[in-house]
Amino acid sequence: MEIVLSHLTKKFPARGKKNQKEVTAVNDVDFVIPDGKLVGLLGPSGCGKSTTLHLLCGLQKPTEGQILFGKEDVTPLPPEKRGVGMVFQNYALYPHLNVEQNIRFPLENLKGAEKLSKEQMRERVLEAAGLVQITELLDRKPAELSGGQQQRVAIARALVKLPRVLLLDEPLSNLDARLRLQTREEIRRIQTKTAITTIFVTHDQEEAMSISDLIVVMKDGVIQQTGKPQEVYDDPSNLFVASFLGTPPINLFEGRVQDGRLLLDKDAVLQVKGVPDQAVHVGIRPEGFLLQKDGSLSCAFVRREVMGRDVSIVSTHPASQAPSIRSIVDAESCQNLSGETVRFALHPRKVFLFDKTTGARIPCEIKER
Ligand code: ADP
Ligand code: MG
């Protein structure tokens, strides 16, 4: 089912002496989640991700705006009437209930036409447990499960009511690195199989990029950019988005556009069309540096770090905003790297210019010298 968030705003009032300012947790958020897709809602802590989910599931009422599920305006509906399955960050299972009872819990209080018989409940529980592959754990108590297994129970519990929408709030944050990797693929598998429209909240850009059909990048309650992960990575709309996506992160420089050339300190690195002379922020992705003897960017070599197939070259440059620059090159191209200077040519499509004051991307055509 398609979900529409239309001019959605949530303000929390100022409270007492400590919180003297009203907080706008979600600020005029406008986007459409296509039917059956997995959308990754991404942003730093405090940017309004959880609040957005709480508005969607009905735990909180928006100050302004509307939420549509398909054609239906669900804004005035209480949580139980929305058909939403939610997995919270701490996935709070009931410790005294076993896995089966935990999963069944949301079904017990269904009333009227929705009421299920014992057999129907059992069938639903088995179906949900099968989907997350914990059928053999139904008799156990939560304390007898690993973190990853508890997570699966929480997901099964969210799925058992056959929700129209699945909301996951940082569902992997309590798992260790390896389990996170495994569980995120699991979530993708379940989502693909059930085709439930899903919103997956995370502060981890890699996690969001890897499993989402679409990502929504948020900052201070405001959507910065939405799109397919690769498109947002390749074409960031501002400095925040460019810096937030990518590991290792984008390298930032103080640059200058002058007479159609992009200058980083004394190095004229690229041609720029359509930009009046001005100082700019320059972002260069780590894979945008190409080792070249007569390359236009001249850096001081610090060290190389082998990272499996690739090699990371750490260097410095006077125009770099960070103490060092990190570039990724393939192992073969830097076998006989030596000396104090390392020179790079830059890949024009991996270089972005941003406005010095607003941080907005400056539209322009960038070419090799
Ligand atoms: P995230 O999930 O992205 O970390 P949240 O949605 O939890 O962010 O919070 C967004 C902002 O709203 C934060 O500044 C937070 O302090 C504030 N906030 C969240 N919930 C409440 C609340 N119930 N009362 C007051 N302020 C809140
Ligand atoms: Mg949160």
- For a ligand 1 pocket test, name from 8, 9, 12, 216 the mutation site with the most ligand atoms within 8 angstroms of its C-beta: 12
Ligand closest to 49 (CA) is: 1
Site of tokens 């440059």: 317
* Burial of 325 from C-beta contacts in 10 A (0-12 / 13-18 / 19+): buried
pLDDT of residue 19: 64
Ligand closest to 19 (CA) is: 1
Given a cut of 50, the residues of the chain with pLDDT beneath it are none
Ligand 1 atom nearest 201 alpha carbon: 2
- For a ligand 1 pocket test, name from 24, 51, 59 the mutation site with the most ligand atoms within 8 angstroms of its C-beta: 51
pLDDT of residue 334: 73
| Count of C-beta atoms within a 10 Å radius of residue 238 | 19
Contact 347, 284 (CB under 8 A): no
Residue 157: name the closest of 106, 117, 192 by CA: 106
pLDDT of residue 90: 76
Which protein residue has the closest C-alpha to ligand 1 atom 10? Answer: 48
- Cα–Cα distances (Å) from 156 to 98, 120, 178, 205, 328, in that order, read 13, 16, 21, 25, 41
Does the beta carbon of 44 sit less than 6 angstroms from any atom of ligand 1?
Answer: no
Rg (CA), the chain: 25
Does the beta carbon of 51 sit less than 6 angstroms from any atom of ligand 1?
Answer: yes
Ligand closest to 21 (CA) is: 1
What's the 3-state SS for the chain? CCEEEEEEEEEECCECCCECCCEEEEEEEEEEECCCCEEEEECCCCCCHHHHHHHHHCCCCCCEEEEEECCEECCCCCHHHCCEEEECCCCCCCCCCCHHHHHHHHHHCCCHHHCCCHHHHHHHHHHHHHHCCCHHHCCCCHHHCCHHHHHHHHHHHHHCCCCCEEEEECCCCCCCHHHHHHHHHHHHHHHHHHCCEEEEEECCHHHHHHHCCEEEEEECCEEEEEECHHHHHHCCCEHHHHHHCCCCCCEEEEEEEECCEEEECCEEEEEEECCCCEEEEEEECHHHEEECCCCCEEEEEEEEEEECCEEEEEEECCCECCCCEEEEEEHHHHCCCCCCEEEEEECHHHEEEEECCCCEECCCEEECC
Does the beta carbon of 12 sit less than 6 angstroms from any atom of ligand 1?
Answer: yes
